A and B are shown apart, each in its own frame.
Chain A
Amino acid sequence: MAIKERRIVYKHVDEEGYSNDIDCYIKNGGYEVQKKAFEAKPEDLRQEVLNSGLRGRGGAGFPTGMKWKFLDFKSGKPIYLVCNADESEPGTYKDRQLLYQDPHQLIEGMMISAFAIGAKQSFIYIRGEFINGARILEAAIEEARAKNLVGDNILGSDYSCDLIVHRGAGAYICGEETGLIESLEGKRGYPRIKPPYFPAALGLYMCPTIVNNVETLCQVKHIIDMGGEEFSKIGVKGDSGTHIMGVSGLVQKPGYFEIEAGACTFGELLYDGCGGPLPGRKFKAVIPGGLSMKILKWGERFKGKHPNTGEDFDWGVEDIPLDSISMGLCGTALSTGGAIIMDDSVDMLEAMANINAFYAHESCGQCTPCREGSLWMNKLSTRMTSGHGREQDVPLLLDIADQIAGRTICAHGEAAAWPVQSAVPKFKDEYLDKIKKQANGERYNPAGFPLI
């Protein structure tokens, strides 16, 4: 049984015969919303976005309308709009489809947003590895500029705003909005301290700046199209719109699905959408929304009272509805929707070591806890997997993570700490079992699957 999708931003993704050029886009009704939007007042557009209840799709889930509201309109300084296309969260690949297959949707969403916030200049900061993505975007911007949809006096109005594609150089941390801004300024991608450098007041070149995710900006187009009130009816209270769930890992059919928030459960996604576990395997753990979110263990139960319905719930992982509110109730977050699925063939300690290696490699090195803690966790978990683990390493690993989270300049601290903080209590026995077996010179392979 197929999963019930509701495709809004992904409407034309993988559509037969749909190409990423402007003619195809216009043929499918493209840039009509921009024309409509340019006749409205910018403050009304901002109000629509606020009314929509859209939450940022870059991971943190901050309400987009609020973010725009915090923008310092009175400084007299130019306002910048930056699209964060540095999609580098492991497990996440939703923006890539939009950039490659439907770039004009992003451009239209951006120009509407730029007009709404009065941006003087807008940028797309695209991850360095998306080489073709950057080419596609540049070609698309040229097409849009030729049709007077980007650039000077857009659509004959007195509003001008150019759009520039800037390629990153491959650092994960440049997806953090202030790190991105530094990188865009040509500096080392060190995130800024907040306070005082909130982008809405002191962003790019110390001017008010809005940094939004690709999907968020694409959603803006649809909000303006259908109206904020209408958009807010999609999804659940506190999390409106759709989520693109990008499933990867050990399922029969990995892939992406645009689903109305809360319209189906994790189990439906994995079984109906992705065909369930590989033959003979059982699900063991899922990381629901990008690598840095807290891990869920297959079989654990989540109980409590749901704030939206007021009803008591008792869920397994498979029962969790796919919306930010429900995910939050289970101690994790839907975040980017990039779900990583692990089955019983996965050695959880190896998985942990792999995650730690990533964050140690990607820590920018600016602030102490993340810089030293992430590398320490990496060294520690690498040693644990290599047969030299000690029992006390397990609580030590957790303690190091506790010393990082909440004490760093940017959210990379949490990103590095959360997987450890969530996985260690849940898989502690397995770690200890492995350490003990390895100390006895045995190979560790509890489920008996062939080791890769």
Chain B
Amino acid sequence: MADSETKQVTINIDGVEHRVPDGLNLVDACEGVGVEIPHYCYHPKLSVAGNCRMCLVEMGMPMRDRATGEPVLDDAGAPKIGWMPKPAIACASKAMPGLHIKTKSDLTKECREGVMEFLLVNHPLDCPICDQAGECRLQEFATDYGRGFSRFVEEKNVKPKRTKLGPRVILDDERCILCSRCVRFCEEIDENPVLGFTERGSHSTLSCFPGKQLDSNYSLNTVDICPVGALTSTDFRFKMRVWFLKPTPSICTESSVGVNTEVWTREGKIYRITPRRNDAVNDTWMTDSGRSLYQQVEAENRMKSFRVDGNKASLGEAVQRVRELLTVGPVAYVASGHMSVEDQWMLRKLAEAEPGAIHFVYHTGEGDGRLISKDKTPNLRGGLLTGLIKGIPDAHLHSLRDKLEAGEIKTIVSFGEDIVKAGISPELIKKANLVYFGALRDDCTDYAKVLLPALTVFERSGSFVNQQFRLQKFSQIVPGPAGLLPTTALLARLIGEITGQPATAPSNPQMWREIAAAVPQFSGVEFAKIPTTGLELDSSAFATLPFVEEKGWHFEPVAEPAGAQSSHH
């Protein structure tokens, strides 16, 4: 994207010439060509502090004759390099033409050994009980760049071991290497400076400003960017060693921002969610609230068995009963932005097999102008693209209510939408037959004739289209409760019942072949080839729709946001 437009320059790293973007930070430039420059305080999304000194390298430029400006050549005819007398920090240097750096020289090696030794002299070395162990930069760089032994025999500094910085973050000050990433995050990204250092020198101690606490909805990002085990998540602390955890890419369903995430699991259990870098969506950040969404997997109100008329039933019985109810009379489908593109596509196919009005509930709420938008569902735009809806839906089901009151609807099929909350009273529901696909029990489940428990976003794979019309896929992370199937499989079976064709659960690639053929915006998309950072779609057909989303990080609304209108609902 931007990289191809940036001018490339040639720099020399350890005697090898590399082409890197002009002006790029040297830590990133070296990383881009596969040369690691160890660092602690540098973070690509924060200002440069230059305080850890781990990225010290030797730097030099080709010498030029002062009088003529001509390059000075050595005996072999190669340009002579004027090496700087002192090592310089790579994080505060930029790639420029002709720059030479040494990342493997004796001096560079010595600098790294020195810094590593210094960082560890007052470090408690309590790795056996430290949450960071296994993903700790101190451990990694001590192994890669340290001497491997310590010459320190003095007493270590003593600092507070468990300071509660806020509701979700606990600080172990002894482990802190004072890199100031968290301080800079709060100041620059969260724009809510609450962290700072007290004391001086090696006794410097991270703490909150008097009367403040680290309670922002972005506070856990400080835990992510802490290169050591100083900042820990209250939720994850002491729960699991990280080397047992497996990270799987996913998408946060908190809002239509579609924050890219990694979900960390062991043996079918989710332990934490962390942000996954996507410079076009969420950089390296995510909200604290989005991190707790995994709790729905083991929520108390999770539905785990098929039910027909309140009684446990088999999958076959449930599908059969739905089939019967669909033939009772006019059908209304209630779709939602929580459905994946695949779910929505299969619903479209169901509605083609058994026609009915498609209603869609718009979930709007307060955004924060950052990574929470005013649309509280991840996939409203999937509904538009798959053709379930033509425009922005209402935030309520008043039209469905009117039809129910008029007795025009006999069966309602809701996909995870609590229709009671959407404005349909239980009395009205009782006038018709409710079929409910959903993961959690809610206000309307008691009135459902057929309950088909659904899988959460963590238990199936699929894709969402976020506010930027970026198609992003998520993977199955943990197995769902025994016997449950993805909604797409249930719908395929139902369609099979209706059409009399043999029903096989379609795979995502199979569905995508159909979707790509039917929807112009998805033309050419193959499920397996959707990049991990998503695929930008052509949104021009929807440019005039009054979406509620307002300006956020990496998002500018195209049309006037309809925030003022939706707030009435």
Instruction: Provide the residues of chain B in CB contact with A226, threshold 8 Å.
Output: none
Closest to A390 in B: B153
Chain B interface category by residue count: 35 or more
Q: Separation in Å of the B220 CB from the closest CB of chain A?
A: 25
B525 within 8 A of A: no
Contact B204 A371 (CB under 8 A): yes
Contact A407 B53 (CB under 8 A): yes
Closest to A192 in B: B50
Q: Which of B74-111 contact A (CB under 8 A)?
A: 85-87, 89, 92-93, 110-111
Give the interface SS of chain A, mostly helix, strand, loop or mixed.
helix
Q: How many residues of A contact B (CB 8 A)?
A: 32
A164 within 8 A of B: no
Interface string of B459-499 (1 = CB under 8 A from A): 00000000000000000000000000000000000000000
Of A371, A372, A375, A399, chain B has the most CB atoms within 10 Å of the CB of A372
Task: Assess A371 versus B154: contact at CB under 8 Å? Given A406-B87, A407-B111, A409-B51.
Answer: no
Instruction: Provide the residues of chain B in CB contact with A403, threshold 8 Å.
Output: 110, 114-115, 117-118
Selected from A366, A369, A380, the residue in CB contact (under 8 A) with B115 is A369
Instruction: Provide the residues of chain B in CB contact with A372, threshold 8 Å.
Output: 118-119, 121-122, 202
A374 CA / B202 CA spacing, docked (Å): 8
Contact A365 B53 (CB under 8 A): no
A97 CA / B118 CA spacing, docked (Å): 40
A363 within 8 A of B: yes
Interface string of B378-421 (1 = CB under 8 A from A): 00000000000000000000000000000000000000000000
Task: Assess A374 versus B51: contact at CB under 8 Å? Given A369-B114, A403-B118, A407-B56.
Answer: no
A188 CA / B205 CA spacing, docked (Å): 13
Closest to A190 in B: B51
Contact B201 A368 (CB under 8 A): no
Instruction: Provide the residues of chain A in CB contact with B56, threshold 8 Å.
Output: 407
A373 CA / B118 CA spacing, docked (Å): 6
Selected from B86, B117, B199, B202, the residue in CB contact (under 8 A) with A407 is B86
B236 within 8 A of A: no
Instruction: Provide the residues of chain B in CB contact with A171, threshold 8 Å.
Output: 200
Contact A365 B200 (CB under 8 A): yes
A19 within 8 A of B: no
Instruction: Provide the residues of chain A in CB contact with B118, threshold 8 Å.
Output: 368-369, 371-373, 376, 403
Selected from A193, A364, A375, A376, the residue in CB contact (under 8 A) with B92 is A193
Closest to A373 in B: B118
A379 CA / B199 CA spacing, docked (Å): 18
Closest to A173 in B: B200
A195 within 8 A of B: yes
Task: Assess A193 versus B86: contact at CB under 8 Å? Given A365-B200, A379-B154, A403-B118.
Answer: no
Q: Separation in Å of the A416 CB from the closest CB of chain B?
A: 10
A364 CA / B151 CA spacing, docked (Å): 24
B196 within 8 A of A: yes
Closest to A388 in B: B153
Task: Assess A361 versus B51: contact at CB under 8 Å? Given A188-B196, A195-B92.
Answer: no
Closest to A402 in B: B114
A447 CA / B533 CA spacing, docked (Å): 75
Instruction: Provide the residues of chain A in CB contact with B244, threshold 8 Å.
Output: none
Selected from A374, A383, A399, A408, the residue in CB contact (under 8 A) with B53 is A408
Q: 9 closest Cβ contacts across the A-B interface?
A: A403-B114, A372-B118, A365-B204, A379-B154, A193-B50, A375-B202, A363-B201, A406-B86, A365-B201
Offer 29 A-B interface pairs, CB within 8 angstroms, sorted by A.
A171-B200, A193-B49, A193-B92, A363-B200, A363-B202, A364-B201, A365-B178, A365-B197, A365-B204, A367-B50, A367-B53, A369-B114, A369-B118, A371-B201, A371-B202, A373-B118, A374-B201, A376-B118, A379-B154, A403-B117, A403-B118, A406-B85, A406-B86, A406-B87, A407-B87, A407-B114, A408-B53, A409-B51, A409-B53
